[in-house]
C-alpha cells in the first residue's frame, strides 16, 4: 500500500463551544492508502485536550511507509496489531490509518465494512444520530434548533454560565429527546444538584458529568440518579471499558480516542457483554471520519454522528446523516467515502 497524506482546515458553520474550549476552524488530517487502483480514506482531527497535533501525526505516519508497502491490504486488523507498538502513543494517527485500511479492504473486496465484520444493519432499526447544540446563549441555541428542527434527539452541551436558562429554552422549544454532555465541566456538588433538574426535564442521559479519573465520585453520583451516566473522556482505550463499568451505565467510543475501527469494534462488543449501553460519538470532522464510525451502527444504543453537519463546507462525501437524524448504511464498498 502507498501512503498519501492530506491536510485541511475545516470551517465550522458556527463557533463550537464546550466546557473547556471554543473552535471556529478544525484542522484535520486525511490519510489515503492506495492499492490496485483503489484508495481508502481515514481521518483524524487536531485536538488540544488529547494533545493530538497534525504535525506529530504526519511524522509518525511517514515513518511507516516502508512497512505499509509490504503489508497485506486485505488484513487491516492484522496491520493494526503489527503497528500498535509504534502508534500506541498517537491514537489519533493510528485511527486515521486504521479507517483508511478498512475502507481500502472493503473497496478491494467490493463489500461494505459492516459486512466484512458480519454485522447486519437490516436486522433491526438503526438508532438515529443526535444533533449537538454547543454552549451558547439561549437565544442562539434557539436559532440553532430552528436550523435543524427535524432531529428526534438533541445533545445539549452544558458547563457554561447560562446552563439553567439554556436548558429551559431548549426544553421549551422542542419535544424531542434531550441528552446532556458536560465534557467533565462539573464538580460533584454541582452535578448532584443538577440531576433532579435534568430528570424533571426528561433528559435521556448525561455524558461525562465530572472530569476524568473521578470514578468513585461518578459511582456515587450514579447511585443518586436514575439517569444513565455515559463515559466519554473516562473511556478512551480498550482497557478502560471494564475499568469504568462499575461507575457508568454506558460508554461513548470515539475512533480517534481508541485508535480506530479495529479496537472500537472490540470495545463495543466488550461493553455489551458487561451490560453497558453503547454509543459512538465523533469530533467536528468531515464525512471521512463520520462514514467510518457509521459502520458500527448495528452495535449501538445511541449515536452521535453529526460532526460533518456542523461544518460550513465538507471535503468528502460518504454516509449521510439526514435532517431527521436517520443514518442509512448501504452496500457501497468500504466506508463509502469519496474525497471531493
Helix (H, G, I), strand (E, B) or coil at 320: coil
CB distance 180 to 198 below 8 Å: yes
CA 115 – CA 127 distance, rounded (Å): 18
- Same domain, residue pair 32 and 72: yes
Strand partners, 30: 6, 43
Query: Which residues, 6 or more positions from 148, have their beta carbon under 8 angstroms from its beta carbon?
Result: 131, 309, 323
- Determine the structural domain holding residue 169 and report its residue range: 116-339
- Same domain, residue pair 89 and 139: no
Residue 292 to residues 32, 126, 321, 322, Cα–Cα distance (Å): 13, 16, 13, 16
- Same domain, residue pair 15 and 160: no
Q: Per residue of the chain (340 residues), what is the pLDDT tens digit?
A: 999 999 999 999 999 999 999 999 999 999 999 999 999 999 999 999 999 999 999 999 999 999 999 999 999 999 999 999 999 999 999 999 999 999 999 999 999 999 999 999 998 899 999 999 999 999 999 999 999 999 999 999 999 899 999 999 999 999 999 999 999 999 999 999 999 999 999 999 999 999 999 999 999 999 999 999 999 999 999 999 999 999 999 999 999 999 999 999 999 999 999 999 999 999 999 999 999 999 999 999 999 999 999 999 999 999 999 999 999 898 999 999 999 9
Helix (H) or strand (E) holding 257: helix 255-258
Q: Indicate the number of domains in the chain.
A: 2
CA 121 – CA 112 distance, rounded (Å): 11
- Same domain, residue pair 148 and 98: no
Read off φ and ψ for residue 76, nearest 5 degrees. Answer: -65, -30
User: Given 110, 136, 171, which residue is the final one in a domain?
Assistant: 110
Sheet arrangement for strand 2-17: 2-17, 22-35, 38-45
- Same domain, residue pair 299 and 313: yes
- Same domain, residue pair 91 and 139: no
The predicted structure's pLDDT at residue 298: 97
- Same domain, residue pair 101 and 128: no
- Same domain, residue pair 189 and 204: yes
- Same domain, residue pair 185 and 220: yes
The predicted structure's pLDDT at residue 141: 97
- Same domain, residue pair 81 and 219: no
Which residue shows C-alpha cell 482546515?
9
Which residue shows C-alpha cell 452544558?
158
- Same domain, residue pair 75 and 123: no
- Same domain, residue pair 132 and 273: yes
User: String of b and e for 202-238 (b: at least 16 CB within 10 Å)?
Assistant: ebbbbbbbbbbebbebbeebbeebebbbbbbbbbbeb
User: Given 82, 110, 138, which residue is the final one in a domain?
Assistant: 110
CATH number of the CATH domain containing 185: 3.20.20.120
CATH number of the CATH domain containing 18: 3.30.390.10
The predicted structure's pLDDT at residue 174: 97
User: Given 76, 110, 144, which residue is the final one in a domain?
Assistant: 110
CA 208 – CA 183 distance, rounded (Å): 5
Amino acid at each position: 500500500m502507498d501512503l498519501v497524506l492530506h491536510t485541511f482546515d475545516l470551517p465550522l458553520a458556527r463557533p463550537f463551544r464546550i466546557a473547556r474550549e471554543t473552535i471556529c476552524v478544525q484542522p484535520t488530517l486525511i490519510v489515503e492508502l492506495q492499492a490496485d487502483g483503489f484508495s481508502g480514506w481515514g481521518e483524524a482531527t487536531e485536538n488540544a485536550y488529547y494533545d493530538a497535533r497534525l504535525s506529530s501525526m504526519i511524522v509518525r505516519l511517514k515513518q511507516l511507509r516502508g512497512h505499509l508497502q509490504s503489508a497485506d491490504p486485505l488484513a487491516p486488523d492484522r496491520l493494526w496489531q503489527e503497528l500498535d507498538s509504534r502508534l500506541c502513543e498517537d491514537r489519533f494517527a493510528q485511527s486515521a490509518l486504521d479507517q483508511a485500511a478498512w475502507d481500502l479492504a472493503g473497496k478491494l473486496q467490493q463489500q461494505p465494512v459492516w459486512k466484512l465484520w458480519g454485522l447486519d444493519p437490516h436486522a433491526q432499526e438503526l438508532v438515529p444520530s443526535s444533533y449537538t447544540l454547543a454552549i451558547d446563549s439561549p437565544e442562539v441555541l434557539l436559532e440553532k434548533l430552528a436550523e435543524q428542527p427535524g432531529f428526534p434527539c438533541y445533545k445539549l452541551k452544558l458547563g457554561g454560565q447560562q446552563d439553567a436558562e439554556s436548558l429551559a429554552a431548549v426544553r421549551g422549544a422542542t419535544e424531542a429527546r434531550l441528552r446532556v454532555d458536560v465534557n467533565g465541566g462539573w464538580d460533584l456538588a454541582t452535578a448532584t444538584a443538577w440531576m433532579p433538574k435534568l430528570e424533571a426535564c426528561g433528559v435521556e442521559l448525561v455524558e461525562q458529568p465530572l472530569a476524568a479519573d473521578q470514578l468513585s465520585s461518578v459511582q456515587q453520583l450514579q447511585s443518586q440518579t436514575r439517569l444513565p451516566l455515559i463515559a466519554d473522556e473516562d473511556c478512551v482505550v480498550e482497557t478502560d471499558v471494564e475499568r469504568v463499568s462499575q461507575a457508568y451505565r454506558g460508554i461513548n467510543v470515539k475512533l480517534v480516542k481508541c485508535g480506530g475501527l479495529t479496537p472500537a469494534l472490540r470495545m463495543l462488543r466488550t461493553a455489551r457483554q458487561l451490560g453497558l449501553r453503547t454509543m459512538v460519538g465523533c469530533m467536528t470532522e468531515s464525512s471521512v471520519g463520520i462514514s467510518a464510525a457509521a459502520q458500527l451502527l448495528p452495535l449501538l444504543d445511541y449515536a452521535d454522528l453529526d460532526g460533518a453537519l456542523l461544518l460550513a463546507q465538507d471535503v468528502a462525501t460518504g454516509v449521510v446523516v439526514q435532517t431527521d437524524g436517520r443514518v442509512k448504511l448501504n452496500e457501497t464498498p468500504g466506508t463509502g467515502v469519496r474525497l471531493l
